[in-house]
């Protein structure tokens, strides 16, 4: 997508024609929005049924206008829209906005009409916005072809650094109703022509946008979307995403809503995180994260401090902080000593710091002193005030809640640490407190959970920037699979183990019981007997463990005859260590994803796995292991058990990442389960393997970005 093709989305629009103008809600609201926001260009109404609407002349045809038109908004039914598209294109319109539904999301006939509109628009190069959308808002050129209510006298829209791209109009309305300072807002609808990736690319280059919020139901152009995200990383613009599709029901709802199939949520989330996307759980968290990231400061440490006026609220915050992975560290010895000298009554000096009711000094002096020392503490990354300041409070209460707000605003001039004022409850802030904080550029966040989510988002973005500077980001273009899956069991899979450096126990494929006994004696008992050619051997009795002698081996062999296996594997029994699963699979949209977790027969039951996108460094591999808390404890020796060979485990994970990068097109899935991690110094052993091969074609090979 070339930037000039979307000129109308960024630059001043000279003229807009509303085709199908009428007295209905959508049209009246759009006209009101354009008028109230001060659109300075020409607005033309077109409808053969009317000579005027609300005192404005109404033309019967687009041709009758007789002037150039930049943007045409179509408010007619889908069948009439095809003719509107033809005429608009012939008149040189750059953009056609289609708010109404009844297109691709509605079924085959709607899809046919939608495709016809695209074919017609392509003849003149006119771009299509929507259909099935709300329109868009540009706070900088006052152009608002938007069918949602924007006139809110008690909370007017504010111009600011946050741009929003949403695949849901109602979700977009919720963001608009927040206190965010807004730049550009796009309701993407069906994305028949312009995709979410196009808007993200535009915003990445937009000097008026500093933060981008996305509401995602389904991504339609994966390759371009990743490249657009990488542009955001290049220009240091955080991308916050709220994505549905965690559950089957939400995936189905997304499909019904926007006409696009939602993909594998876990895979998509991990890939997008690698490209800098910060995921949140709901709209409130997204707003809070955008507020926090709107500050031009990064914390020197991933830690939080707070002054509060309640030990109870401090305790609640500490419990929630653990849930969100936020650290309230102890104050440094130096700062505790300084506070002891200034405010001895507040001892012991905990974090959060309860600044109320203990000191003989006025609260205003206590608040100021505490905040100044927290900002100086080298243990602290973010300084906050955690005090409720609800709307409707009286002057006496405001003198109490407004005081630390003023001190935080003063502190803004003397520190580069991020600052935040948050309330424990979700009630709206006193506007006087908001005014103090807004003027200083300090976020005011409603609710402890939202504040913690916002701090986590800032820490995640800081980590992404650091990682981006160290290592490139791997991007894979669209992949199409042309043939049915071919499973490589055992021999074929074990050849891949050997070729890629994964050790396996002494073993041999055999065809008869006599050969099995001979090989077992050569390997040495105990041994394992496995029927070949089965994906889940244990489930059907295709694995016999810890066979101590020829008699037990023969009994196991006889019990497997009914499986009709073509041959069997005799393998040395490895008893020590712990079973894990290590694999990769090739996602049809994003390429290879490495999977690691608890293995063996409990893999599908426990489902305790972690995903990562290649390239896999030793550092990333270690974080993968750390993220599985129980396994991390076992690796280091749990309850008297010897520690496991972490170094060799990390090496195996790195090897799997390398293999995924090199072979994902021809070997689309490769699984070692179990990979037994043995005691320290003994390495790892691949005990079973499964490979999936497809004939594939891709537009081009993966490339390194950054």
Got the DSSP string for 495-544?
HHHHHTT----SEEEESSHHHHHHHHHHH-SSEEEEESS-SSGGGGT-EE
Widest CA span in the chain? 100
Domain boundaries, the chain: 1-136, 152-279, 295-470, 506-572, 578-705
* φ and ψ of 327, to 5 deg: -105, 120
pLDDT value for 689: 87
SS3 (DSSP) at 680: coil
Residue linked to tokens 């010895």: 333
| pLDDT exceeds 70 at position 661 | yes
Residue 171, helix vs strand vs coil: helix
pLDDT reading at 207 higher than 90 = yes
pLDDT for residue 493: 72
What proportion of the chain, given as a percentage, has pLDDT over 70? 90
- At 402-441, the pLDDT tens digits run 999 999 999 999 999 999 999 999 999 999 999 999 999 9
Average pLDDT over residues 57-78: 96
pLDDT of 699 = 35
Q: Which one is predicted more confidently, 558 or 601? A: 558
CA separation for the pair 56, 46 (Å, rounded): 10
Predicted confidence band at 529 (pLDDT cuts at 50, 70, 90)? very high
pLDDT for 44 equals 98
Cβ-count burial 18-54 (b if 16+ within 10 Å, e if not): bbbbbeeebbebbbebbeebebebebbbbbeebeebe
Q: If you average pLDDT over residues 495-521, what whole number do you get? A: 91
Cβ 305 vs Cβ 343: under 8 Å: no
The whole model's pTM is what? 0.85
Half-sphere exposure of residue 194: CA atoms within 13 angstroms, side-chain side: 36
Residue 43: pLDDT band by 50, 70, 90 thresholds? very high
The fold of the 1-136 domain, in CATH, is Rossmann fold (3.40.50)
Query: How far is Cα 247 from Cα 412, in angstroms, rounded to an integer?
Result: 43
Dist. CA 26–CA 16, nearest whole Å: 16
CATH architecture of 295-470: 3-Layer(aba) Sandwich (3.40)
Per-residue pLDDT at 23 exceeds 60:
yes
CATH 2.115.10.20 fits 506-572, yes or no: no
Other CB atoms within 10 A of residue 658 CB: 16
pLDDT at residue 520 tops 50: yes
Dihedral (CA of 409, 411, 415, 421) sign = negative
What confidence score (pLDDT) does residue 291 get?
Answer: 98
Q: Under DSSP, is residue 65 helix (H, G, I), strand (E, B) or coil?
A: helix
Identify the pLDDT of residue 639: 83
CATH number of 578-705: 3.30.470.20
Determine which of 283-297, 349-363, 465-479 has the lowest per-residue pLDDT on average: 465-479
**DSSP β-bridge partners for residue 578:** 677
Whether 152-279 shares its CATH topology with 295-470 is answered yes
The residue count for the chain? 706
Question: Cα–Cα distances in Å, from 590 out to 122, 450, 480?
Answer: 28, 31, 11
Phi, then psi, of 436 in degrees rounded to 5? -60, -45
Residue-wise pLDDT for 220-235, tens only, equals: 888 899 999 999 999 9
CATH of domain 152-279: 3.40.50.261
357 pLDDT above the threshold of 80? no
Q: Which of 469, 466, 461 is nearest to 295 (CA)?
A: 461
- Pairing mode, strands 568-572 and 56-59: unpaired
- Chain centroid offset of residue 511 CA: 51
Give the separation between CA 420 and CA 331, rounded to whole angstroms. Answer: 18
> Residue 500's Cα: distance from chain center in Å?
32
Q: What is the pLDDT of residues 110-164, one digit of tens each?
A: 999 999 999 999 999 999 999 999 999 999 989 999 999 998 877 889 999 999 9
Tell me, what's the pLDDT at 254?
44
């Amino acid at each position: 997508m070339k930037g000039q093709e979307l000129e109308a989305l960024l630059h001043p629009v000279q003229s807009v024609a509303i085709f199908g103008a009428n007295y209905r809600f959508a049209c009246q609201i759009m006209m009101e929005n354009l008028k109230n926001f001060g659109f300075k260009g020409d607005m033309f109404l077109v409808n053969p049924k009317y000579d005027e609407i609300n005192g404005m002349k109404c033309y019967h045809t687009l041709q009758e206008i007789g002037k150039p038109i930049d943007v045409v908004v179509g408010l007619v039914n889908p069948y009439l829209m095809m003719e509107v598209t033809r005429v608009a294109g012939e008149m040189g319109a750059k953009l056609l906005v289609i708010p109404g539904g009844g297109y691709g999301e509605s079924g085959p006939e709607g899809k046919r009409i939608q495709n016809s509109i695209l074919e017609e628009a392509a003849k003149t190069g006119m771009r299509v916005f929507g259909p099935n959308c709300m329109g868009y808002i540009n706070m900088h050129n006052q152009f608002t072809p938007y069918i949602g209510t924007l006139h809110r006298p008690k909370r007017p829209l504010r111009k600011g650094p946050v741009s929003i791209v949403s695949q849901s109009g109602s979700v977009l309305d919720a963001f608009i109703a927040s206190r965010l300072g807004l730049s550009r807002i796009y309701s993407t609808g069906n994305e028949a022509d312009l995709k979410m990736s196009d808007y993200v690319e535009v915003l990445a280059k937009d000097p008026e946008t500093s933060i981008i919020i996305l509401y995602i139901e389904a991504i339609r152009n994966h390759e371009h979307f990743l490249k657009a995200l990488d542009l955001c990383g290049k220009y240091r613009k955080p991308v916050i995403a709220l994505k549905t599709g965690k559950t089957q029901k939400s995936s189905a709802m997304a499909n019904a809503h926007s006409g696009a199939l939602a993909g594998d949520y876990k895979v998509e989330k991990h890939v997008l995180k690698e490209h800098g996307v910060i995921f949140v759980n709901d709209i409130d968290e997204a707003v809070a994260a955008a507020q926090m990231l709107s500050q031009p400061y990064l914390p020197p440490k991933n830690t939080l401090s707070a002054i509060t006026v309640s030990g109870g609220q401090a305790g609640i915050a500490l419990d929630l902080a653990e849930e969100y992975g936020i650290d309230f560290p102890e104050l440094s010895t130096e700062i505790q000593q300084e506070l002891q000298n200034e405010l001895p009554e507040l001892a012991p000096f905990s974090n959060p710091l309860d600044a109320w009711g203990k000191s003989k000094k006025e609260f205003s002096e206590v608040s100021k002193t505490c905040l100044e020392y927290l900002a100086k503490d080298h243990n602290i990354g973010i300084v906050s005030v955690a005090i409720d300041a609800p709307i409707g409070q009286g002057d006496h209460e405001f003198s109490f809640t407004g005081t630390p707000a003023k001190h935080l605003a003063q502190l803004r001039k003397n520190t580069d640490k991020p600052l935040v004022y948050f309330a424990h409850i979700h009630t709206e802030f006193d506007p006087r407190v908001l005014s103090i904080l807004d003027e200083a550029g300090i976020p005011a966040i409603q609710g402890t959970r939202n504040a913690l989510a916002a701090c986590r988002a800032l820490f995640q973005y800081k980590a992404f920037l650091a990682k981006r500077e160290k290592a490139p980001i791997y991007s894979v273009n669209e992949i199409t699979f042309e043939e049915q899956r071919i499973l490589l069991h055992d021999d074929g899979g074990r050849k891949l183990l050997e070729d890629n450096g994964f050790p396996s126990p002494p073993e041999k494929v055999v065809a008869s019981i006599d050969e099995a006994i001979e090989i077992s004696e050569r390997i040495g008992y105990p041994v394992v007997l496995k029927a070949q050619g089965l994906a889940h051997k244990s489930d059907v009795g295709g694995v016999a463990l810890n066979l101590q002698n020829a008699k037990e081996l023969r009994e196991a062999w006889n019990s497997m005859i009914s499986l009709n296996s073509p041959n069997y594997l005799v393998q040395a029994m490895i008893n020590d260590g712990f079973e894990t699963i290590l694999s990769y699979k090739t996602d049809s949209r994003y390429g290879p994803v490495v999977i690691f977790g608890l293995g063996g027969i409990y893999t599908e039951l426990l489902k305790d796995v972690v995903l990562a996108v290649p390239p896999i460094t030793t550092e990333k591999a270690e974080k993968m292991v750390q993220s599985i808390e129980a396994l991390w404890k076992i690796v280091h020796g749990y309850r008297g058990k010897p520690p496991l060979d972490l170094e060799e485990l990390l090496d195996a994970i790195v090897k799997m990442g390398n293999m995924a990068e090199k072979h994902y097109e021809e070997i689309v899935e490769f699984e070692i389960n179990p990979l037994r991690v043995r005691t320290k110094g003994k390495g790892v052993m691949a005990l079973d393997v499964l490979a999936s091969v497809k004939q594939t074609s891709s537009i081009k090979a993966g490339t390194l970005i950054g």
